[in-house]
Structure formats: structure tokens, C-alpha cells
Amino acid sequence: MIISPRHTQKIAFSLLSLCTVLVIAPVFVIIALIVIRGGPGISWEFLTAMPRMGMKAGGIFPAIVGTLYLVSVTMLFAIPFGVLAAVYLVEYARDHALKRFVEVAIVNLAGVPSIVFGLFGLGLFVVFLKMGTSILAGALTLAIMTLPVIITSTKEALSTVPRSFREVSLSLGATGWQTIRHAVLPNALPGILTGIVLGLSRAAGETAPVLFTVAAFYLPRLPHSFFDQVMVLPYHLYVLSTQVPNVKPEVQYGTALVLVGMVLILNLFAVIIRARFRRRKQW
Amino acid sequence: MSKIHVQDLNLYYSSFHALKDVSMNIEACRITSMIGPSGCGKSTLLRVFNRMNDLIDGVRIEGEVLIDGKNIFGRDILLSELRKRIGMVFQRPNPFPISIFENVAYGPRVHGLAKSKDLEGLVERCLSAVELWEVLKDKLHHSALSLSGEQQQRLCIARLLAIEPDVLLMDEPCSALDPIATAKIEELCFQLKERYTIVIVTHNMQQAARISDDVGFMLLGELVEFGQTDKIFTNPVDQRTNDYISGRFG
């Protein structure tokens, strides 16, 4: 039987749109579920109070603060190393074996399962370097995990800056560094920021790397220094779901909602930065 | 002494022999054009003078280029100093995506030439020299990308003048412009040659005939003929030059 081209066109179109809808469906289902079941649990007290009654009641304030604290310290390490390494790879390094080796290593780093980062952090920072279970150890572990995201997006941002900007700048007698500083980096900045925000949101949502390096099971006070343990949202959620019996669903889903909300807000920032830049960019 | 003295210059891109035994003298305060078909090496030659070929991997240069009697490949040459003196205008207008003012101020800032007070005067002088000041003096903080192609190219020349070079290398500066804009840029070149030595690469033989004092004809990496413009165009010595300018190929 021969199907007419008009029909194959219809079939292809329906199939393609069906796949697209199926791809985005989980996002909406997940968010809807969390909002519906967690929404009632959100209150001012939930966001700003310490947990009570074995975490079954009260708020999740220390977990929110812990996550923000941890992510900030992570970025303190990840941003300078990631951005500067990417600048070196794109702007300075000539194409030799070492450069290619470093690039392959970065790609592989991105593929390492997060639990392996957790064990690595435990072995190196917590035990060997005697940092103990602390913000410092957790942040360093997360920083290593975030590095490939930041390096890759910074490299991409740098390579979208037209070659001609570099040529003009050098032809005006600027040195290599002046050219990078004044002609390249300002134009790559939005792309770099986008990458940083995406790395940040990934770090905020990870459980496995913080499991052995920083996360506290139950710690109803705020951290005082880099060497304190903290509660963090993803691990707290894990605890509420599996370790504590009889937790009300609105507490579990409320925690999930706060976590997802934080990550979505961060991603929204990335989208806004990119959109604003696209409007301004004219070359 | 000539401004730029080229002696037995050979340039290789890896194994490709791009410039073959080029020797010539470029005189100060004249316009010298380099003509020839695409790929003949004229842009490559231009990029030897400010050593922009250094950016390309696998380039090897033999021979001698003296500017003001000084070997530009010498160990004591600072690239940033050389390029400050030997400025370049590119084929496509390429202002930075920042304000008009900041574009002109880029070079002086990089070289620490002017304090912020003098900077305004310097920007005004450079924009006046390319006849943009009257049109743009109220729009200095607009994006340079909002200008027309011709104005952008003028701005690029102003940006160059701001670092006070003495040689201007122009790599087909009008190829992205329409005929009227081209005429205006050519007129600007006439004014500029009083103070600057201009070397211009062009595809356009009429342009070379109109604006230059000297012309070099290049073919397959060789400098076939070099001399005064009227002589080259009316009475070329080499048969290949004759064929090219009479439009038999290229």
C-alpha cells in the first residue's frame, strides 16, 4: 500500500509534536505535584523557623541558610579557577597535546557521577586534609563538581566573541592581556554569568557530594564558621523522605517546593541575562 | 631613506610559499597601493608590516623589513610599540560594540597616552580629522554599531589616529562600502597622506589609479612590478601587469 505524501506529512507532524509534548510533560507534572502538595505547607514560619519535634514540624530555616552559605563558598572557589582556566585554554594555550589532554579531562570530569565526587571529597578534604565534615570541605567538593560547567560555558562564551575584536585590539598595540581584559571579557561576560548561574543551581540541588562532606542530619542552629556543619535542602529532603517516620507530606513537599523554587529562580536569572544580551548584541 | 624598506622577503604558511623574494621601498607621506588578484599575497604583505602574521601558527618569514631604518623582526622590537606606530584599517568596519567615544579612547587608554581631561580633546581632534565630529558630537555616547558602514569605517580610522601612528595600513578598506561612501573614504585618504604614510591593498584598479602615488602589482606571491602610478597604468614593463590592468584576467 502506498501512503500519499499528504498523509505521511500528517503522520510525521503528529508524531513529532507528540514527542515534544511528552518531553515537556514530566516538567509540568513534577512542578504541579510539588506545588499542589507542598503549597499548603509553605508559611512564614516554615521559611524562617528552626525545625521542631524531630523535624516533623517547625521550619526549614537552617537548611535554607545552609544551602545559600554552601553555594556562596562553592562559587568563591569555582568561579576564579573555572573562568581563569577557560580564559587560558581559549586565549593563550596553543594547540598542543597538553591542552587537548586538559580538555578531555574536563569533559570527563563532567561525566563523573556525583556520588563519586562525594566519596572523593570525603577522602581528600574531610579525612586526608583534616577539614572534617564542614562547609569548607563540602564547598570544595561542590566546586570541583561545578568546574566543568563553568569552564565549558566560559569557553563557549569566549569563542563567540568575534576574532576581529582581538585583531583590532592587538593591531592598536594592546598586549594580549589588555586585549582579553578590555576587548574580549566584557563581550563574553553575559555568557560567563549564565554558566556561573547554571553551575550554581546545579550545586544547590546536589545531594550526593554533600552527603559525607558537610550535611548535618539535624542541626537547629546557624553556622558560625567555615568549619561548621550545616543542614542543606537536598539532604534535608532526603532525610524527611526516608529517615524520619510519619512526616506530613506538606512538610516533605514544602521542602521540595522551596528547593525547586530556589533552583528555578537561579535558572530564570540565567535566562534573563541571556535574553537581555541577545537584544543588545548586534554583530 | 624610505619609510619602509623590504628586502628579499619570503613568507611561508607551513609549506605554502606565500611571498616570494619581495623587495620594494615605500616612501613617506605617499599613498602606495598594492593590487593583484585574490590570493596573490597582498594582504599577507600588509600584515607583515605590523606583524599581524605572528598570530597565525606555522608562519615563517625570511628576509628583511626595515621601518625608519629599523628591522621590525629585531629582538629589541616591542610588538605593542611597533603596532602603535604602524596602524591598520581592516576590510570590514570593525568598531567595538561600545560607545563612539570609548572606541576612539580605546587606544589611548591602552597606551596610557592621555588623562581623562585631555582625552576629550583627543577624541574631538581624531573625529574631526575623519570629519565625523560635526555629525556625531552630540551622540558620542551612542553605540558605535548604530552608525552606517561608512561612518563605522571612518570611526575605525579615527580610533587608529588616536594612538598617533605614522603608517596607516589599509586592507581593502572600501570593499564593504558603496561607491559614494568609497569616494568619501578616498578623499579622506588624500587628506591623511600629508601626515601619514599610507599603504592600501585594493581589488579595485580604478581606486588604485585614482588615489595612489605608487602602485605594486602582485601575482602568486611575487611582486611583479612596482613604480609610480601613472607609469604602471600607462606604460607597464611586464606583460603580466599589462594583461591584468587591461582586464585580461583577475
CATH (domain of B236):
3.40.50.300
- What DSSP string describes A46-73? HHHS-EETTTTEE--HHHHHHHHHHHHH
Is B176 within a domain? yes
Q: Which of B81, B83, B109 lies closest to A170 in CB terms?
A: B83
Task: Give CA–CA dist A194/A150, Å, rounded.
Answer: 9
Is B250 within a domain? no
Is B131 within a domain? yes
Q: Does the beta-carbon distance from A282 to B111 stay under 8 Å? A: no
The total number of structural domains in chain B stands at 1
* Residues A27-49 as b or e (16 or more Cβ within 10 Å = b): eeeeeeebeebbeebbeeebeeb
Is B139 within a domain? yes
Nearest chain B residue to A163 by CA distance is B94
Task: Give CA–CA dist B247/B242, Å, rounded.
Answer: 9
ipTM of the complex: 0.89
Interface test with B, best of A168, A182, A278, A280 (most B CBs within 10 A): A168
Is B209 within a domain? yes
CB within 8 Å of A219: residues ≥ 6 apart: A62, A229, A230, A231
Residue numbers of the domain that contains B210: 2-245
pLDDT score of A267: 87
**Stretch 13-32 of chain B: residues touching chain A, C-beta under 8 Å:** none
Q: Does the beta-carbon distance from A283 to B97 stay under 8 Å? A: yes
Q: Does the beta-carbon distance from A172 to B87 stay under 8 Å? A: yes
Nearest chain B residue to A169 by CA distance is B107
Question: Which SS3 state, helix, strand or coil, does residue B12 take?
Answer: strand
Task: Give CA–CA dist A47/A50, Å, rounded.
Answer: 9
> Is residue B179 predicted with pLDDT exceeding 90?
no
**Stretch 140-159 of chain B: residues touching chain A, C-beta under 8 Å:** 143, 145, 156, 159
Q: Which of A162, A164, A182 lies closest to B110 in CB terms?
A: A182
Output the pTM of the full model.
0.82
Touching check for B52 and chain A: CB below 8 Å?
Answer: yes
Domain extents in chain A = 59-279
Options 1.10.3720.10, 1.10.150.20, 3.40.1160.10, 1.25.40.10; CATH of A59-279 = 1.10.3720.10
> Is residue B129 predicted with pLDDT exceeding 90?
no
Q: For residue B32, what pLDDT band results from cuts at 50, 70 and 90?
A: very high
> Is residue B250 predicted with pLDDT exceeding 60?
no
Residues of A with CB under 8 A from a CB of B: 94-95, 162, 164-165, 167-175, 178, 182-183, 186-187, 280-283
Pick the closest to residue B140 from B105, B94, B99 (CA basis). Answer: B99
pLDDT score of A226: 81
pLDDT score of B217: 93
Q: Where are the beta strands (DSSP E) in chain B?
A: 4-13, 16-26, 31-35, 59-67, 70-71, 86-89, 167-171, 197-201, 214-219, 222-228
Q: Which of B90, B98, B107 lies closest to A173 in CB terms?
A: B107
Are B91 and B176 spatial neighbours (Cβ–Cβ below 8 Å)?
Answer: yes
Nearest chain B residue to A94 by CA distance is B57
B52 CB neighbours in chain A (<8 A) are 167, 170-171
Q: Does the beta-carbon distance from B110 to A178 stay under 8 Å? A: yes
CA distances from B175 to A116, A166, B85, B150, B196 (A): 57, 21, 24, 11, 22
> Is residue B27 predicted with pLDDT exceeding 70?
yes
Nearest chain A residue to B57 by CA distance is A94
Is B23 within a domain? yes
A171 CB neighbours in chain B (<8 A) are 50, 52, 83, 87-88, 90
Mean predicted confidence (pLDDT) in B200-211: 90
pLDDT score of A223: 82
| Counts for chain A of helices (H) and strands (E), in that order | 12, 2
Which residues of chain A are under the pLDDT cut of 70? 1, 280-283
Q: Which of B83, B98, B156 lies closest to A173 in CB terms?
A: B83
Cross-strand partners of B19: B11
Q: Does the beta-carbon distance from A95 to B145 stay under 8 Å? A: no
Are A205 and A113 spatial neighbours (Cβ–Cβ below 8 Å)?
Answer: no
Is B173 within a domain? yes
pLDDT score of B50: 92
Task: Give CA–CA dist B201/B40, Å, rounded.
Answer: 11
